[in-house]
Amino acid sequence: MKKWLIGLSVAAGLSACVTINIYFPAAAAEKAADKIIEEVWQLKDGETKSGAPTPESAPDPVPDAKPADAPAK
Amino acid sequence: MKNLLVGFVLLSSLLANNFVNAAEPNLDVNTPAIIAIKASMTARHSQLLPHYVSGAVGLTKDGFIAVKDATAVPLRERSGINSLVADENIDRAKLYKEIAAGNGHPEWQNDIQNTFAGRWIDKAQAGWHYQSGGAWVKK
């Protein structure tokens, strides 16, 4: 009886392993393919890659320069 | 008998864990090999692009490209187009292989290739040619 149960659990384990090995993540593969194709064909860069670091801290207000520049006429 | 039960519970929890891991797969496409292949293909694309547009080169149904109509290419470029297509196909084959191998499942190579085959065609621009059944179709 014990041997029979051990055999059963081993068989169950093996079949589960086979299932895992066969399993192909089709949705993940499509996502990966899309990502690579967009990169290689350089499609819609703006949409897929958001959050690109744009240096927006560059323009300084420089309030001191104003009075010197303004009365030019 | 108790030992056996404990063993069985352990085994099944282990299997459950495996299932959780298998249900949440994420294909890694940023191994060094894949990055190198992508760079090579991206660089080549600017040369291939006019040939896709002219119809000289089309997308095959198995995830590769082929010379469809060499007469669409000026005579002096015709020898170049064959090596361009050959190089691209070498890279594509490597890409499919590396994605499968890089994710620990070399046996997925064919599935990955088939997935790509559909996606290349899906993302092709209007006017490009692709293989459908035995014939070339203009998108």
Confidence at residue A51, expressed as pLDDT on a 0 to 100 scale: 40
The verdict on B5 touching A (C-beta cutoff 8 Å) is no
Closest listed residue to residue B121, CA positions, set B74, B62, B38, B40: B62
pLDDT digits (tens, 9 = 90+) for B35-48: 999 999 999 999 99
| pTM of the shown model | 0.68
Residue A30 is nearest to which of B22, B45, B115, comparing CB atoms?
Answer: B115
Which residue from A minimizes the CA distance to B8? A9
What whole-number distance in Å separates Cα of residue A31 and Cα of residue A41? 15
Confidence of residue A12 (pLDDT cuts 50, 70, 90): low
* Least confident among A8-17, B57-66, B120-129: A8-17
Confidence at residue B1, expressed as pLDDT on a 0 to 100 scale: 59
Q: Are B114 and B121 in contact (CB under 8 A)?
A: no
Confidence at residue B116, expressed as pLDDT on a 0 to 100 scale: 98
From B60's Cα to the closest Cα of chain A, the distance in A is 15
CB–CB contact A23 B22 (8 Å): yes
Q: Are B44 and B85 in contact (CB under 8 A)?
A: no
Confidence at residue A47, expressed as pLDDT on a 0 to 100 scale: 46
What would the two tokens of residue A14 be?
Answer: 């093996």
The verdict on B54 touching A (C-beta cutoff 8 Å) is no
Confidence of residue A10 (pLDDT cuts 50, 70, 90): low
Q: Higher-confidence residue: B26 or A71?
A: B26
Interface of B with A in 6-45 (CB under 8 A): 7-8, 11, 15, 18-19, 22, 25-27, 29, 34, 38, 41-42, 45
Q: Is the model's pLDDT at B23 over the cut of 60?
A: no
Q: Are B111 and A24 in contact (CB under 8 A)?
A: yes
